[in-house]
Structure 1
């Protein structure tokens, strides 16, 4: 049955892919975005769809529409952007979550909160399991995002316990793919753009720190399955790819796939940058109809490289 679905941050990297997928499934989709990091170009091909509506608003201000489901994705997700205005970031995570939860309560909608692997901080448990409470610096430069997302999870659970709001929480691990911003500061887009321009690839630290990279299609599938699970399974649940790569390995793969002559250079590691990231996805496999990532890293990187090649070519034209 077709549903009316609100996606906050719907013009962002993840949100735009989710909008497209849910429209393809015959739903009515409302995209809410303040366009701080979201881009109208990500959704330009959808605007003539009669089942698609775009609204420009910041979720720190109250908002109400009658909907069946809410995907709350709104928040800058890269350190460059969420540290640019830390107060705005934490307002988005806290006030925005409250506004969306209030809306879910009033319209009897189910809400999925996009949380993050950053709630684990610089983890002392590896790989990270949902029962791990994390090692987060509450007063560091990343805390507006890390603690903001942790608070959003708390709010979801309290609205569930106190007001019986139907909630779902997913913890998203590093995700990449087409529609990433050219200057979002995340490692995959940084490396690809630098390689395509023939610039040195910048590694922060000694290159031994690890991340696990998930292609966007796998994330969208996991989120949709999570929204559709039984009322009893709330999460939080890790949605990520457990394949683990060092920053050095990723840089070398990108140079090879782009056939670039770029070199690798090393810079100081940013403050509070986690040393390791790898999700344990046993809970997702068990509760999301056997969900697991399908797209290998090199296959996904080739798709992303093609996207950035096209994007850079349009800039030159």
Structure 2
């Protein structure tokens, strides 16, 4: 049955893929974005679809809509962007969540919160299960995002307890793929852009720190599975790829796949940058019958191709 679905942050990296997938399932999709980090080019190919609507709006301000489901993705998600205006980042995570929860409560809509692996901070448990409460610096430079998302999780469960709201909560681990912002400062996009331009590839720390990398198609499938899961399963649930890679190995793989002659250079590790980050996804396998399918090499090839085309099409596109 066709639904009226709101996607906040719908012009962003993950949001644009989600909008496209939902349209393919013949739903009506309202994309809300203030275009701080979202890009019109991410959704330009959807604009002719009569079931797709775009609203330039900041979710810190309530919005009067009638919807059946809400995917709340609106918030800068890379350190460069969320540290640019940390107060606004916290407001978006907290006040934006309140406004979307109030909308869901008024319209009796099901609402999914895109939380993050950042709620685990620099983890002392590895890999990270949903039961782990985290190791977060509440006053550090990343806290505007980490603590904002943790507060949003609190709000979602308080709305469920107080108003019996139908909520879903996911924690997204490192995700990559086409439509990433070229200047978002994330490791995959950084390495690819640097390799394609033949400049030094910047590794922070010694490169021994580890991450897991989930291709965006896999993540979006998991998000939709979560939204459609049984009513009594609220989460939180980790969505990410459990295969773990050293940052150094990722850099070498991208150099290999791009045929680049870029050299690796090392700089100091940023404050509070986690040494290890890897999801335990047993809960997602059990409750959602979901697990990632796209290999790192396959996903990187698609992402490299996207950035190659982007850089060729417009020398200013990376900005």
Kindly provide the CA deviation profile for residues 206-260 of structure 1, in whole angstroms up to 9, marking residues without a partner as x: 1000100000000000000000011110000000000100110000000000000
Kindly provide the CA deviation profile for residues 121-180 of structure 1, in whole angstroms up to 9, marking residues without a partner as x: 000000000000000000000000000000000000000000111000000000000000
Which residue number in structure 1 is paired with residue 295 of structure 2?
A: 296
**Count of equivalent residues:** 316
Does residue 1:159 correspond to 2:165, yes or no?
A: no
Q: TM-score, normalised by structure 2?
A: 0.98
Does residue 1:109 correspond to 2:133, yes or no?
A: no
Kindly provide the CA deviation profile for residues 285-311 of structure 1, in whole angstroms up to 9, marking residues without a partner as x: 0000x2100000000000000000000
Partner Cα distance (2:249, 2:271) in 1: 22
Q: TM-score, normalised by structure 1?
A: 0.99
Partner Cα distance (1:257, 1:73) in 2: 31
Which residue number in structure 2 is paired with residue 67 of structure 1?
A: 67
Once superposed, what is the RMSD of the aligned Cα atoms?
Answer: 0.7
Which residue number in structure 2 is paired with residue 286 of structure 1?
A: 286
Could you tell me which runs of 5 or more consecutive residues in structure 1 were left unpaired when the two chains were aligned: none
Partner Cα distance (1:110, 1:9) in 2: 17
Which residue number in structure 1 is paired with residue 49 of structure 2?
A: 49
Which residue number in structure 1 is paired with residue 198 of structure 2?
A: 198
Partner Cα distance (1:59, 1:90) in 2: 12
Which residue number in structure 2 is paired with residue 313 of structure 1?
A: 312
Which residue number in structure 1 is paired with residue 77 of structure 2?
A: 77
Partner Cα distance (1:199, 1:168) in 2: 42
Moved segments of 4+, more than 4 Å = none
Partner Cα distance (2:68, 2:225) in 1: 16
Which residue number in structure 1 is paired with residue 90 of structure 2?
A: 90
Partner Cα distance (1:103, 1:53) in 2: 18
Partner Cα distance (2:64, 2:8) in 1: 12
Which residue number in structure 1 is paired with residue 139 of structure 2?
A: 139
Following superposition, the deviation at residue 316 of structure 1 comes to 3.7
SS state of the match for residue 114, structure 1?
Answer: strand
Kindly provide the CA deviation profile for residues 26-58 of structure 1, in whole angstroms up to 9, marking residues without a partner as x: 000000000000000100011111000000000
Could you tell me which runs of 5 or more consecutive residues in structure 2 were left unpaired when the two chains were aligned: none
Following superposition, the deviation at residue 63 of structure 1 comes to 1.1
